[in-house]
Amino acid sequence: MTRSWNRTALFSTALGLSFAGSAQAGVGQPTPWQIGLQTPVTEVASFINDFHTALVWIISVISLFVLALLVAVVVKFNEKANPVPSRTTHHTGLEIAWTLIPVLILVGIAIPSFRLLKLQVELPKADITIKATGNQWYWSYEYPKDQAGGFKFDSYMLTREDAVKANQPALLAVDNEVVVPINKTVVLQVVGADVIHSFSVPSLGFRMDAIPGRLNQTWFKAEREGVYYGQCSRLCGQNHAFMPIAIKVVSEQAYAEWLTQAKSKFASTSGQESVKLAATAP
């Protein structure tokens, strides 16, 4: 049923054509003159994208309809055009219609909205669980025991010079990316170490608050390889804008190779693990 929203892809195409000439939305990062959301690479992100496009069409039609009514009122019902005003004050049919039609529109919007909410909130069975902790002002990540024995690392933003040198986007690139395999369900456990942060990657379709003392969870399953960038999405202090998130989706083989490197590069967590695997059951 979710797929029915793919019909709105037709509308997106129409919308895209009407803005021909402007840049396409970038994969995993924003692009100059971008129209619409970043390219979705998960089921949830596609749903969000299609839903957003459908809503833009609905509000556009409603706005144009109201504008047409206003123009009709201005043109037809002024003293010059209509010197003797009608004394009609009620019209039962019209009143029922302008109550019922908005209600039906809202119900029509609510149904896919709740379906999307269910898709986001109900955690599927995890293939990998990763814990992300928001700190002032960087993210740290922890992989559990079942991933090369468990390890943790910090992820800081690269300086503008380093990012340019590495041919990566400034203000988004980080020193240590989170690496995950393609087509695997990744459950994220998100927590704040000091203040409230928010863990968000638009192309992967999640945003989850990182709150001290509370373990929030969300998930994604990336369907395309690449590096997907996000940013802290809660005002968390002076360097709020400088704690980006970079998630690299790679093949299963490349992930296995990365795990071997990560095991020797990063601090082991064996014996002091804080990722709670049991909490990931649906």
What is the binding site for Cu ion (CB under 5 A)? 197, 232, 236
Query: Which CB atom, from 204 or from 232, has the smaller least distance to Cu ion?
Result: 232
Burial string for 92-113 (b: 16+ CB within 10 Å, else e) reads eeeeeeeeeeeeeeeeeeeebe
Least distance to Cu ion, CB of residue 172, Å: 15
> CA of 166: how far to CAs of 55, 140, 162, 163, 170, in Å?
39, 22, 6, 5, 10
How far does Cα 34 stand from its chain's mean position? 16
Q: Cα separation of 84 and 185, whole Å?
A: 69
Query: Which CB atom, from 25 or from 188, has the smaller least distance to Cu ion?
Result: 188
Least distance to Cu ion, CB of residue 176, Å: 17
Coil, helix or strand for 187?
Answer: strand
Query: Which CB atom, from 194 or from 225, has the smaller least distance to Cu ion?
Result: 194
Least distance to Cu ion, CB of residue 237, Å: 7
Least distance to Cu ion, CB of residue 148, Å: 28
Query: Which CB atom, from 47 or from 138, has the smaller least distance to Cu ion?
Result: 138
Q: Cα separation of 26 and 230, whole Å?
A: 13
Cα(first)–Cα(last) distance of the chain, in Å? 21
Query: Which CB atom, from 198 or from 280, has the smaller least distance to Cu ion?
Result: 198
Give the side-chain half-sphere CA count within 13 A for 191.
14
Query: Which CB atom, from 46 or from 200, has the smaller least distance to Cu ion?
Result: 200
Least distance to Cu ion, CB of residue 202, Å: 16
Query: Which CB atom, from 22 or from 135, has the smaller least distance to Cu ion?
Result: 135
Least distance to Cu ion, CB of residue 201, Å: 14
Query: Which CB atom, from 213 or from 271, has the smaller least distance to Cu ion?
Result: 213
Residue identified by tokens 């206003």 is 70
Tokens, residue 44: 């949830």
Least distance to Cu ion, CB of residue 194, Å: 9
| Beta-carbon count within 10 A of 213 CB | 6
Least distance to Cu ion, CB of residue 197, Å: 3
> CA of 196: how far to CAs of 155, 157, 173, 232, 240, in Å?
18, 19, 22, 10, 11
Which residues are CB-contacts of 193 (< 8 A; sequence separation ≥ 6)?
A: 133, 134, 135, 136, 140, 212
